[in-house]
Amino acid sequence: MANQRDIKRRIGIVANTQKITKAMKLVAAAKFAKASYAVTSSRPYSESFNAMVLNLVASSSTEIKSPLVKSSSSDQAEGKKSLLVLLSTDRGLCGGLNSNLFKHVQSWMNEQNQQMDIYAWGRKANSWASKRNNSVVDRKEKLLDQPSYASAKVLVDQIIEVYKSGEYDSVYLAYNKFINALTQTPQVTPMLPLSMGDLGEGGSDGKTDYIVEPSFADMIDTLIMRRLYMMLFQAMLEGTASEHGSRMTAMDSATSNADEVRKKLTLQYNRARQAAITTELTEIISGAEAL
């Protein structure tokens, strides 16, 4: 059994760790309140705008000639490859948030029988992707610190420029979808091209009658680009809320576990102290009887 000094030192270490985890929980809770409000407030607009664009494309009576749209009959060209935009956190201590995302992405990549490059956006994504056989062609950090529509626009413009160059046949976005503080769901969503065969996902029946000015052909690329801006911005908001919610939950669990460990060590310390006192009394009594 460890002596009293060692046990007391361990109790102090656990108590200090508990203070740190409790402070991190409070900080995460404050950030989570703001992030969860932002993501739930923007979600109705994001979903409505996405459905509107899909309905508009589906209701078009003319053939859409845009590099950002492909018909349901189009096949992937031979020798092409896909681009995966992987959005993760920069910091750890947020439970299994990143590991669950990477497991889901790896399972999805195994199902895709094609070459794939990765945009590793987030320090954890960069660390994970660097260990894979896939080529990491872009690295960025601190995207989830302060998500903004302006930064999402810059990033999407970069993606569109690379896609239009013809280097990639398709682009996908992987991120954590926020459900609540306890639940975050990994998602892999197609970004480019807009597939005519997937328009039903937006709730479109193709019967909505729209009046488009100046013309549908002039507006389609702009609408699709704005849809992509909102898609990435929403994913950034989802990732931020997921990070703070997961960290808050993880730190709350760590604080509770530290309290349990501290109680067990305190009990162990009291037993060791009691055993030491009993030994001393026994020695005193034995010495007195010897006299």
Encoded tokens for 3:
């002596």
Q: Is 154 a catalytic residue?
A: no
State how far the Cα of 58 lies from the Cα of 200, in Å rounded to an integer: 9
Q: How do 116-121 and 168-178 pair as beta strands?
A: unpaired
State how far the Cα of 41 lies from the Cα of 44, in Å rounded to an integer: 7
Write the secondary structure of 16-40 as one string of H (helix), E (strand) and C (coil). Answer: HHHHHHHHHHHHHHHHHHHHHHHHH
Among 174, 147, 136, CA closest to 244: 147
Is 81 within 8 Å of 115 (Cβ atoms)? yes
Encoded tokens for 7:
């046990």
Of the residues 53, 94, 105, 220, only one is catalytic, namely: 94
244 φ/ψ sector (left φ>0, alpha ψ -120 to 50, else beta): alpha
Sign for the pseudo-dihedral over CA of 157, 159, 162, 163? negative
Task: Count other Cβ atoms within 10 Å, centred on residue 99.
Answer: 13
State how far the Cα of 59 lies from the Cα of 55, in Å rounded to an integer: 6
Is 47 within 8 Å of 227 (Cβ atoms)? no
Active site residues: 94
